[in-house]
Amino acid sequence: MTLNIATDRKANVVGTLWMIAAMAVFAIEDAFLKIASASLPVGQILIVFGFGGAAVFACVISLKGEPLFTKDVASKPMQVRVISEVIGRLFYTLAIVFTPLSSVTVILQAAPLVVVAGASFVFGEKVGWRRWSAILIGLLGVIIIVQPGTNQFSMLSVLAVLGMIGFAGRDLASRAAPSSLSTSILGLYGFLSIVIAGALYTFWEGYRFIFPDAFILICLLGATAAGVTAYSCLMKAMRVGEVSAVTPFRYSRLLFGLTLGVMIFDEELSATTVLGSVLIVFSGLFILWRGKALAN
């Protein structure tokens, strides 16, 4: 029993480190995509970004000698994962393009709360009233940032909320994905989902192709490299540690995203953004602390 507890703790620590690394690189990816969106259509960005990431993972899979498609790829968890990825990536990218990166990053930090809540229903993980209270407080932080019913409310802010929900669904589905599917396989189909998202938006918006200049091309390559790296780290985190233990560390993206938003895009942090951030981070920290207390 002691050995099992020690092993679980080690797995959670390793999963946490993978999660923090993923969040740092995801923030860099967001910055690259926001820069590219000033010159290219959103649909084109998603298609190029998705194909680039898929190509990298396809090469890795081929080098490993793994099959690109097995019956497990068509399993229900993978189907849910693809749908969630399409929803999450499309709306989150639109939010990055049309709203401040800092506010989008903050809203995304509510995803761990949704994941913990979802894990209680999907995986039967025990979530007591204290952690449920923390989840509600964190979601209150999102409401404070979005400010529905006020003059400051913008429908564009809902894009980030929809993206956050999509990503939470993806993370839960990743946990339920067959263990036979490697991180590279998950990454491949994750990026192919982004291509689908880009194609759907291009069809809705109307097709137009703009050949990127050298600088924008570098941004797209940088976003692809960052996306592949971050995706791998995230999948490792979700599959190594317990969902309720590693997901609260997604709030570390808050620090990276706010820093890039202020330093690169000259964004200003409003009082509501700061207050909402505090509530979300507090909720995440409490959930982490409570989870450890119960484990002990």
Flag whether pLDDT at 2 surpasses 80: no
- Read off the pLDDT of residues 3-23 as tens digits, 9 standing for 90 and up: 454 457 788 888 889 999 998
Tokens of 211: 């050949």
- Read off the pLDDT of residues 139-198 as tens digits, 9 standing for 90 and up: 999 999 888 877 777 888 899 999 999 999 998 998 888 888 887 898 899 999 999 999
Task: Report the predicted TM-score, pTM, of the whole model to 2 decimal places.
Answer: 0.85
Q: Rounded to an integer, what distance in angstroms lies between the CA atom of residue 80 and that of residue 75?
A: 9
pLDDT at 16: 87
Q: What is the DSSP string of 80-115?
A: HHHHHHHHHHHHHHHHHHHS-HHHHHHHHTTHHHHH
Domains of the chain, residue spans: 2-295
pLDDT at 90: 95
